[in-house]
Amino acid sequence: MDIFDKCDEYTLTRELRANDIYAYYRNISSPQDPVVTMDGEKVIMLGSNNYLGLTNHPEVKEAAKAAVDKYGTGCAGSRLLNGTLDIHVELEDAIKRFMNAEAVLTFSTGFQVNLGVISCLLGRHDVAFLDNLNHASIIDGVRLGFAKSFKFKHNDMADLEAKLSRVDENKGRMIIVDGVFSMEGDLCPLPELVALKKKYGTRLMVDDAHGLGVFGENGRGTAEHFGLESEVDLTMGTFSKSLATVGGFIVGPKQVVEYIRHHARAQIFSAATPPPMAAAVIAALKIIEREPERRKQLWENTNYMKRELVNLGFDTGDSDSPVIPIVVGDEETAFTMATRLQEEGVFANAIVTPAVPPGQSMIRTSYMATHNRSHLDQALTALKKVGREMNVI
C-alpha cells in the first residue's frame, strides 16, 4: 500500500473549494489590528488572539527593529550550544519578574513548550490526566513521552476523581489542563483541580496560553485570577497571543526547570528564539505592566459582545473569556457562515472536528482591547444578518 493513498482519498478541502466555502489559510495583507485588509477590502477582525492589541504597537516594533540591528535576524543554533544571547537571559528575567516565578525557560514556539516539557517529565511508567478538550500540543507531549493518559470529561471533576482513584499512588502522576480552553473560551475549575491535586498527591500543570495578559489583577493569568498561583506546579505561556509575537515559556520550581532545560528535546534540538522576537516580548511586558487599562478595555469589549450575541439568540456556550464561540452544529454551516461573514466584512474562524467534538462545529470569535464600539457594532450587524440567513438564530 502506498502511504500517499490517504492523500488522494482526502477530498474535503477540494469539495470546500469547489463550493467556494474553504475558510482556511486566508490571505491577510496588513497587521493584526481590529480592521485588516483582505483582497483589497477592509474587514473587521474577530479571529485574532491579539488580545491586548500589541502586535502593531510602535514600542514593540521598535524594540524588534533595534534587536535586528544589534543581533541580526537569528541565532543559527540552539540555546544549549551557540544560540543563547544576553537578550534571552534578559527575556527570562523579565518573565520571571512578571510571573513572580522561581525559574523560567523559553522555547521557540508555544507548541514546543508542551511537547518538550511534558515528554521529558512523563515517561513510560507515569500517568497524565487530561481534560478531553485539552490543546493538541498537550496530547502530543504525553504521546511523545510514552506516558499512559486518562482523559476526563470536560471540566468534570467527578470524572477526574474517579480516574485518579484508580491509579496506583506509586506511579508518577500529573494533571494537565488548559487554563482557558482555546475554542470554547471557558476556564478550568482551578480551585477544584487544586483540591484533587492535594488529595491524591499529584502534580498540576496549566497551559495558560489564552489566560496570560487577560486574567488576573496583573495579567498573570488563570492562577492569579483564582488566587492560586502558589498551588500550580508548572505554568505554560505563549508569546503568540497577548505578548504580540511567537514563542513560549514554562515557569516552575528551579530544579524542575533546570531538568527541563537539559532534557526537553523540543528545546535543546531547536534553534533559539530570534532576537527580534525576544525583544518584542520584553517590550510587550513593559506595556502590560504600565497600561492595565488595556485589560480593562478588553473586558468591556468582551462583556458587551457576549451580552449582545446572547440577546441576538446565538449559542455562545459557557465562554468566560474574550474567546466567544457561536455554536452552529454541523461543519458545512460553519464553513458557509465564515465565508458569508467575510463577504459581509467580518473575519471569524470556522472550527470543526477534531478541534471540537462532532456536532459542535462553531464560529470562533475573539476580541481585542483595541476594538472600538463602532467595530463591534458593525460586526454585530453582519453576524445578525448571516445568522438569520443560515437559520442559526
Q: Which residues are catalytic?
A: 182, 210, 241
Cβ atoms within 10 A of the Cβ of 49, count?
Answer: 18
Owner of C-alpha cell 465564515: 338
Q: Is the peptide bond before 354 cis (omega within 30 degrees of 0)?
A: yes
CA angle 258, 110, 350 (to 5 degrees): 160
**Joined grid coordinates for residue 356:** 471540537
Residue type, 280: A
- 38 bridge partner residues: 41
CA pair distance 389, 391, nearest whole angstrom? 6
In terms of Cα–Cα distance, which of 177, 164, 172 is closest to 205? Answer: 177
Residue type, 197: K
In terms of Cα–Cα distance, which of 347, 349, 323 is closest to 335? Answer: 349
CB 249, CB 113: distance < 8 Å: yes
Cα-Cα-Cα-Cα dihedral of 339, 345, 347, 349, to 10°?
-30
CB 210, CB 178: distance < 8 Å: yes
